[in-house]
Amino acid sequence: MRTSDPFYASASTDEIAKQMLGMLLTYESPKGKVGGWIVETEAYMGQKDSAAHAFKGRRTASNEPLYGPPGTVYIYSIHGRYLLDVAAQEKDVPQGVLIRAIEPTIGKDIMLTNRAKDGVDLTNGPGKLMEAFGISDKKMNMHIFGDVALDIHQDEKKVPAAIESSNRIGVSNQGDWATKPLRYFVKGNPFVSGIRKRDVDSETRGWRE
């Protein structure tokens, strides 16, 4: 069992969030393996970030995984939905990357039974992808990705043709940092949350061929 994953401390958290785009996220679920390419992430920059769970050093039993070593699984719930985050930077530096959306490629039939939503609505949001995966608890928290049923395959990756950024979603009332461009996504991918139809690249889905 690994005690950390140095990739998640190899650069700034916003840079890690960009590098994660195109990586394969998988989950060995009780029904079978599911997964897809990461197409949207958000960086949260710790104590200084007014939209972060650890703003001003807040530390609770709930957000403790954020303070774990790089690569720690951090699952949390909001408005009755579960979301998936990975701790970045060294232990006790509570920064992280939220995985907001994936392009599903593995076990789509399983995901459809879990969520009963076809097309882009299957996984085009952080709560949606966790529902599609069938994850509804925090049992994998405090473990390193790859040591549990969740894994982010850094060596299995598609290359985005272009990466765009914007302010993060759902944090508009969270102070000065709410408008910082810390959300990153694969330009033109249909599974990016809230993408307009006219912005979708139906030929390449935003990937470099």
The three state secondary structure string of 157-197 is: ECCECCEEEECCCCCCCCCHHHHCCCEEEECCCCCCCCCCH
Averaged pLDDT for residues 101-106 = 98
Confidence of residue 108 (pLDDT cuts 50, 70, 90): very high
pLDDT digits (tens, 9 = 90+) for 129-185: 999 999 999 999 999 999 999 999 999 999 999 999 999 988 777 778 888 999 999
C-beta of residue 47 within 8 angstroms of C-beta of residue 54: yes
Collapsed DSSP state (helix, strand, coil) of residue 39: strand
Angle among Cα 51, 52, 56 to the nearest 5 degrees reads 100
Confidence of residue 84 (pLDDT cuts 50, 70, 90): very high
Name the more confident of 167 and 207.
Answer: 207
C-beta of residue 65 within 8 angstroms of C-beta of residue 53: no
pLDDT of residue 143: 97
C-beta of residue 123 within 8 angstroms of C-beta of residue 135: no
131 token code pair: 């529902």
Residue 168, CB half-sphere, CA atoms under 13 Å: how many? 27
Q: Kindly report the number of other CB atoms within 10 A of residue 90's CB atom.
A: 14
Confidence of residue 61 (pLDDT cuts 50, 70, 90): very high
pLDDT digits (tens, 9 = 90+) for 25-35: 999 999 999 99
Q: Does domain 6-195 have CATH number 1.20.58.340?
A: no
- State how far the alpha carbon of 202 is from the alpha carbons of 84, 116, 165, 197, 205, in Å: 27, 23, 20, 10, 5
Q: Which residue has the tokens 């593995």?
A: 106
* CA 41/CA 49 separation, integer angstroms: 16
* H or E segment to which residue 138 belongs: none
Confidence of residue 46 (pLDDT cuts 50, 70, 90): very high
Rounded to the nearest integer, the mean pLDDT of the chain is 95
pLDDT of residue 110: 98
C-beta of residue 187 within 8 angstroms of C-beta of residue 167: no
Residue ranges per structural domain of the chain: 6-195
pLDDT of residue 173: 73
